Chains A and B, each alone.
Chain A
């Protein structure tokens, strides 16, 4: 399933790297400890987190993730959004909680990397 379709189905707001919305998503990962994400998430995964600071862009870039869904109404600052644009990292936001977002992703067939 493409990131674009996920954004549409979950009514996510896309902020950066709109070109990346065409990416095929390989699975999902949800965690707010960046060190854990670095250890476990896989390339092409969509990452759900409440963290919105610039470090998430670094992690997504490093791991070549499909994109980041910042849940719970979090908003990244301008500097972070600019960096995400530079690094071609798609940041999408939603007021829904991580729990709900993951549930909806699972229903769409986007599963975990276990």
Chain B
């Protein structure tokens, strides 16, 4: 894919289809170790050994309409191309964790892309809670810069107003865009 956000969306949709009601999405940009790590952990129905062993096979899918499922195989190919890897761990009834690791500075490493748009659309339309953590750590900083939110907390603060409400969506978009922009500035500062 041209952007990581598209791979991430693929994995989020997999989690939804597995019946997840809560997803933890963590993006770690560690400029000290030159690593980008994307982790999606869900509380869906999970997979057994047999399913896990086929998950990276492009000819394995739970979709009925076609016999090809390329989301994870392509994500893995992208990670491997960037000196990284992708692993999937899961137990039946215990959800699943997908972790993709990339060499952050690798020339073929696609940019994160439009995370804001992807997150807003997902959070608003999916009946699924998300806990999001995006961390950027640089060698010259004492502490990593973090942008974090939890839809469960947001919903509590809204006291019942649905996330689909226009005003809420607009606020959510602004909130996430701001958070992401601050991280982009932190990251860009070290690239000068």
B74 close to A (CB within 8 Å): yes
Q: Which of A36, A55, A61, A87 contacts B77 (CB 8 A)?
A: A55
Residues of B within 8 A of A43 (CB): none
B68 adjacent to A33 (CB under 8 Å): no
B73 adjacent to A55 (CB under 8 Å): yes
Q: Which of A33, A35, A36, A57 contacts B58 (CB 8 A)?
A: A57
What is the CA–CA distance of A58 and B6 in the complex, to the nearest angstrom? 19
B77 adjacent to A83 (CB under 8 Å): no
A6 close to B (CB within 8 Å): no
Q: List 23 A-B contacts (CB under 8 A).
A: A33-B1, A34-B77, A35-B1, A35-B2, A38-B70, A53-B77, A54-B58, A55-B58, A55-B70, A55-B73, A55-B74, A55-B77, A58-B58, A58-B68, A58-B70, A58-B73, A59-B68, A61-B67, A61-B68, A62-B68, A62-B70, A83-B59, A87-B59
Residues of A within 8 A of B74 (CB): 34-35, 55
Q: Which of A34, A35, A55 contacts B6 (CB 8 A)?
A: A35
Residues of A within 8 A of B59 (CB): 58, 83, 87
* CB nearest neighbor in B for A86: B59
Q: Which of B2, B67, B73 contacts A33 (CB 8 A)?
A: B2
Chain A residues with a Cβ under 8 A of chain B: 33-36, 38, 53-55, 57-59, 61-62, 83, 87
Against A, the Cβ 8 Å flags (1 = close, 0 = not) of B76-110 are 01000000000000000000000000000000000
B192 close to A (CB within 8 Å): no
What is the CA–CA distance of A79 and B126 in the complex, to the nearest angstrom? 38
Tally of chain B residues near chain A (CB < 8 A) = 12
**Given A34-B77, A55-B73, 13 further pairs, Cβ under 8 A:** A33-B1, A33-B2, A35-B6, A35-B74, A38-B70, A53-B77, A55-B70, A55-B74, A57-B58, A58-B58, A58-B73, A61-B67, A87-B59
Residues of A within 8 A of B2 (CB): 33, 35-36
* CB nearest neighbor in A for B67: A61
A62 adjacent to B1 (CB under 8 Å): no
Against A, the Cβ 8 Å flags (1 = close, 0 = not) of B42-58 are 00000000000000001
B66 close to A (CB within 8 Å): yes
Residues of B within 8 A of A38 (CB): 70
What is the CA–CA distance of A53 and B80 in the complex, to the nearest angstrom? 13
* CB nearest neighbor in B for A62: B68
Tell me, rounded to whole Å, the shortest Cβ–Cβ distance linking B150 to chain A. Answer: 31
Residues of B within 8 A of A83 (CB): 59
